[in-house]
Chains A and B, each alone.
Chain A
Amino acid sequence: MIPLLASKLILKCLERENVEYVFGYPGGAVLPLYEAFRTSPIKHILVRNEQAGPHYASGYARESGRVGVCLATSGPGATNLVTGIATAYLDSIPIVAITGQVDRALIGTDAFQEADITGATAPFTKHSYLVKNAADIPRIFREAFHIASTGRPGPVLIDIPRDVQLENVKTPLTWDKVEILGYNPTYTGHSGQIKRAVKKIKEANHPVIYAGGGVILGHAEKELLAFVEKNNIPVITSLMGIGSFPEDHPLYCGIVGSHGFEYSNVVMNASDLIINIGARMSNRATSNLTNFENNIEFVHIDIDPAEIGKNMEANIPIVGDAKTILIGLLEKDTVGEHTQWLSDIELMKVKYPLVYDADPPCSELINPKVLFRALSGMTSDNATMVADVGLNQIWSALYYRIIKDRKFFTSGGLGTMGYSIPAASGACFATLDNPKEIFVVCGDGSFQMGMGELGVIAEYQLNVNIILITNTKLGMVRQLQFDNYGKDHYSGTDLNFEIDFMKLAEAYGIKGFKVDNNADFEKVMPEAIKHKGPTLIQCQVHPDFIRI
């Protein structure tokens, strides 16, 4: 066997995993890897700040259904990845983060640009490796991709000392079998529990399905639709579950939680059986649910056994993969009688309608709710919407309709500002051969956390439309200040300097539009969508528009 330089071996391992893109940023501890990139078919995308790297990888992963890869040098490069890795962890997104490390002999000496990145990220990586021996590289890379993408997906970090990258190794390039004794995700549910669930579903008078991100991660949307239509059970989603079920379906019942629809919370509270499929029951989702004391039966389907019973006691726990379990349930006799329940729900929808109206002065500028409803009618059936964090996120989540093959990505678990621009760019790279409509929604605060990446968008002329909601405020925090302390208690939430975003767009060669009323938005947006290449659409919303 001819010896191979470990840095080249690493790229060969990535090739083997069918990696197309690495979202990276160079430095001393990864120089050997960058030398290897020159002659590798894998494309390196130079992000403009490592903080964006894991978000690119996340957007790429969510769009393509494959593992996203990001790369950074040791020390500050590696620590810049931390927030993005935590973001991917809380949303269960499969990414592999590769970091350079100082030479083995220097580890533990506080050497220049040394940081214990496996230690720093241990709480929010699914697993991590410090490569001490180049011969382990094929095994570690195979395991890392396997762990990231199977079971409950999540980020895996591989830390590689510089001198390991420079070793010559004689090792088989391929490593097909993965044998990890302590890792064996369960895909098929326990038949006894499934039997109990079948009985409960058939007997329930007021059943609802609560669908989470697990349905999307498990590619179980079709099975969910089939199950719902067979059983006539209404569906409520979590924020991460947006996209798991078409929002124009008569059995769709909105989004639950502190930032959900009022009627959805009312429906959930009136139910007698919740069938939770791949949702975490986080505090943000359940804070409006008051009825849990009153004999609501709770079937919890999740691939991660630790989620079941963590935030809420489950009467019937089913550990397994959403798709496999739904396919199993579809074969069973679960159909019950609840026409009364469905007509009750229609009444609830009427009693707690969505409110679009705004009063002056808010009504004098753009009404974001109306904006997103209108946008729903303009975008293609497979458009991807990537929302940042803040009011902009909630408005787009609630009022932009995810139907057919549309997708909705946001940082739901960690709520990381600055997610949208790099994540949407990652999604663009995933579809570069076959460009589709990809949208960013962000606020003026979150835009400024991600705007460094406009350089990448401009360089590759990514087909992304950035809908920038400007209210010159950190709107959502301002809303919290208003709700908690009253109207004279705003503090630290003014973005006082009014940026000329049109000039900024121009500086990057990005086509800019600026609108301050809904009619104009509806006029320019189709033009922006038609435009080949990136656009920035600045939409002015009144600072006091703080209702969702």
Chain B
Amino acid sequence: MEKKTCLSLLVENNFGVLSRISGLFARRGYNIDSLTVGTTEDAKFSRITITVTGDEQILIQIKKQLNKLIDVITVIELKPEESITRELVFIKVKTDDITRSQIVEIANMFRANIVDVARESLVIEITGTRHKIEGFFNMIEPYGILEFVRSGDTGLQRGAHVLSF
């Protein structure tokens, strides 16, 4: 059975580390739904969050293959019940004088921010879980989405746990 899984990696900031990871997915035929990279509290390391879809067998292989990469220090699965994951989305929506206030109202209900206002469009910034963002898209779609960009999931384990080596 296919399922979506969110993996969190701690990696050494060495030359080519991102291409090693993306290359691994490409050549073994695993699909990446999203991938985010960022710095950490220590400049020597980066955190990478990858969401993938696959059956249990494939997910186990992916984790093992990632662990084989020398630059990858730790791989953990961010299980929904034990972690927080969020995604940042910018959505540009068509507006006019009539719809503008309706859209703003919806955005407020979702605790989204209006970050750009023009005569015929609005840009909304929303952060949240996949469910929340889907819900927001559903509400806003009828007004006409001009374009959007999604950051992909990023996340941390709950509690005092830290990803270390």
Q: Are A127 and B70 in contact (CB under 8 A)?
A: yes
Q: How far is the CA of A304 from the CA of B64 in the complex (A)?
A: 9
* A531 at interface by CB-CB < 8 Å: no
* A132 at interface by CB-CB < 8 Å: yes
Q: Are A130 and B15 in contact (CB under 8 A)?
A: yes
Q: How far is the CA of A128 from the CA of B14 in the complex (A)?
A: 11
Q: How far is the CA of A118 from the CA of B57 in the complex (A)?
A: 30
Q: Are A122 and B12 in contact (CB under 8 A)?
A: no
Interface residues of A in 131-147 (CB under 8 A from B): 132, 147
Q: A130-B15, A147-B70 are in contact. Are A181 and B64 (CB under 8 A)?
A: no
Interface residues of A in 393-407 (CB under 8 A from B): none
Q: Are A310 and B27 in contact (CB under 8 A)?
A: no
Q: How far is the CA of A127 from the CA of B14 in the complex (A)?
A: 12
- Contacting A304 at CB < 8 Å: which of B68, B71, B72, B74? B68
Q: A118-B16, A132-B15 are in contact. Are A183 and B70 (CB under 8 A)?
A: yes
* B127 at interface by CB-CB < 8 Å: no
Q: Are B16 and A130 in contact (CB under 8 A)?
A: yes
Interface residues of A in 108-156 (CB under 8 A from B): 118-119, 122-123, 126-130, 132, 147
Determine chain A's interface SS by DSSP, over half rule: mixed
User: Could you say which residues of chain B place their CB within 8 Å of the CB of A130?
Assistant: 15-16
Q: Are B20 and A182 in contact (CB under 8 A)?
A: no
* B88 at interface by CB-CB < 8 Å: no
Interface residues of B in 80-116 (CB under 8 A from A): none
- Contacting A306 at CB < 8 Å: which of B11, B19, B68? B68
User: Could you say which residues of chain B place their CB within 8 Å of the CB of A127?
Assistant: 70
- Contacting B12 at CB < 8 Å: which of A129, A132, A182? A182
Q: Are B73 and A181 in contact (CB under 8 A)?
A: yes
* B61 at interface by CB-CB < 8 Å: yes
Q: A126-B70, A127-B70, A309-B57 are in contact. Are A181 and B20 (CB under 8 A)?
A: no
Q: A180-B70, A181-B73, A182-B73 are in contact. Are A123 and B23 (CB under 8 A)?
A: yes
Q: Are B16 and A119 in contact (CB under 8 A)?
A: yes
- Contacting A182 at CB < 8 Å: which of B23, B65, B72? B72
Q: Are A310 and B61 in contact (CB under 8 A)?
A: yes
Closest A-B pairs by Cβ, 6 of them: A306-B64, A182-B73, A127-B70, A181-B73, A181-B165, A183-B70
A-to-B contact residues, CB < 8 Å? 118-119, 122-123, 126-130, 132, 147, 180-183, 304-306, 309-310
